[in-house]
Structure 1
């Protein structure tokens, strides 16, 4: 395999792409549809480098567990395509560069970045993992927003709240779908030690709160019909998927809920406001 491909795969390109999309959509929202191009491009570089580096560090830290799981043993470190030392140097360098760029953009962006990295290093595979991971997931939003707009507004707070509610649902559904794989690797944290029933009920409650939060963003962000329709579709999909998981109590339903909560939901929620702002700008 080409060396460049190996180094890119270490950074989890799909996850990095998703984080970059939501971060840059947040920058567009912060700029009311037309952010300054120089700041926007710098934010793009910062988010891609920082998110990729953080994902690479995650691969490095999880390498021993990944080697024991069927779902992850093909990753570049467990499969021997790259040594842990080289992976750490590559990912660590990107994180440092990303943090330096974030500091240049805005102190809040740097604080979000360093908090996410620190939480990831200290609380791997513990009960706090999912909640502290929110710091990392909100990082691209905070970088994107404060690169363009220095003011704290209800819009950025609600966007971060959406991620706060979304992340546990997304991660828990995957862990339930691959529960046996995780347990065989010695990972026994919530929700793995509880099973489908409780996880599905909590996920459904969070999905309903998430629905309400997305509707609140419609009002606070003064977005238009495109966002309203897309958020109704996305949130309805989430509620239905978690409700179906609660009813069926099987791993296939958990995996379907996981798939719905990834690209489909976040793209609907974050791209739609940008389209609304562009339509408003044209009209």
Structure 2
């Protein structure tokens, strides 16, 4: 599957000894092997997978009303990791021309030609098949189908259709990233309920402000690559107002989980405090935009990083809350 040959292999039996390999050549082979392995790992975008797992496990705790079977959690996480990794690999293949133009992404494996598109595509198919089989046999068919649906949506709807055509790309394309709470819930219950759809909705409304904050920082990159993210096609104050609006809706939706789940005192407290901080950061971004600041001067990465913490906090609170009752 690799586009780079790995030298320095040796025979495991004594019948035919390998030709002597100079220490320098052996070292180079080891380095190249590590480079290839690292490249394949990078194709899966591990940091994005981490965020997806943060929204999967708490949904399982909430569905179980406590601690779910640990083997089930492990199998769901493995299957979810494989599914997300598959989607991310296909995204890297389809967006390799964009990645090559953007400073933020030009060091990814495909722009650097460390892995060939054909090898990456095969890798993506293997991961996707492994995910479907793993979840289908070791969790349940419903969870496997939801993971497959998320992957198909991310690859075909977001990456191939929306991303290069409309500023609403991340609004609707972000639906793919909302499936992990559903997968976690169905892994425990093998059924759908209102509570996981509220978790789905939290991620849905959270995604645009999170992504637009990053796009504000790298607006010139997106513009140069021809990707019509909202900060590319609209002025900063317009983007900041959209971010604030979506942040407010995110917080309101998060609070509706309190009576529906139902949760105890911890979740609504964390959701309210963390939500207030998210809105405060959004207001600060709007003030800086209205003051005429642009791009890095807007300090959009403050909101971007806090939005990561916000999502983690409320989902972890949702997981811990059942343990306190």
Contact 1:9/1:76 (CA < 8 Å) preserved in 2?
A: yes
**Greater Cα radius of gyration, structure 1 or 2:** 2
Q: 1:41: how far off? A: 2.2
Asked if residue 23 in structure 1 is aligned to residue 56 in structure 2, the reply is yes
Residues 25 and 43 (structure 1), Cα distance of their counterparts in 2 relative to 1, 3 Å cut: same
**Which is worse superposed, 247-256 or 69-78?**
247-256
Structure 2 counterpart of 1:267: 312
* CA distance in 2: counterparts of 1:239 and 1:152, whole angstroms: 31
Contact 2:142/2:190 (CA < 8 Å) preserved in 1?
A: no
Contact 2:278/2:310 (CA < 8 Å) preserved in 1?
A: yes
- The one-character-per-residue Cα deviations of 1:216-235 (angstroms, maximum 9, x if unpaired) are 11221222232223212321
Residues 78 and 116 (structure 1), Cα distance of their counterparts in 2 relative to 1, 3 Å cut: closer
Relative to the length of structure 2, the TM-score reads: 0.80
Asked if residue 242 in structure 1 is aligned to residue 282 in structure 2, the reply is yes
- The one-character-per-residue Cα deviations of 1:191-224 (angstroms, maximum 9, x if unpaired) are 4110211111011111111111111112212222
**Which is worse superposed, 61-70 or 122-131?**
122-131
The 5 A counterparts of 1:202-241 are: 202-241=242-281
Contact 2:171/2:208 (CA < 8 Å) preserved in 1?
A: yes
Contact 1:31/1:148 (CA < 8 Å) preserved in 2?
A: yes
Give the superposed CA RMSD.
1.9
Asked if residue 253 in structure 1 is aligned to residue 299 in structure 2, the reply is yes
Identify which of 207, 220, 227 aligns with 1:167.
Answer: 207
* CA distance in 2: counterparts of 1:180 and 1:115, whole angstroms: 27
Identify which of 153, 164, 168 aligns with 1:125.
Answer: 164
Contact 2:164/2:226 (CA < 8 Å) preserved in 1?
A: no
**Pairs aligned (count):** 279
Specify every segment of 5 or more residues in structure 1 that has no aligned partner in the other structure, as ranges.
Answer: none
Relative to the length of structure 1, the TM-score reads: 0.91
Instruction: Detail structure 1 runs of 4+ shifted over 4 Å in the superposition.
Output: none
Structure 1 counterpart of 2:98: 65
Q: 1:115: how far off? A: 3.5
* CA distance in 2: counterparts of 1:253 and 1:240, whole angstroms: 14
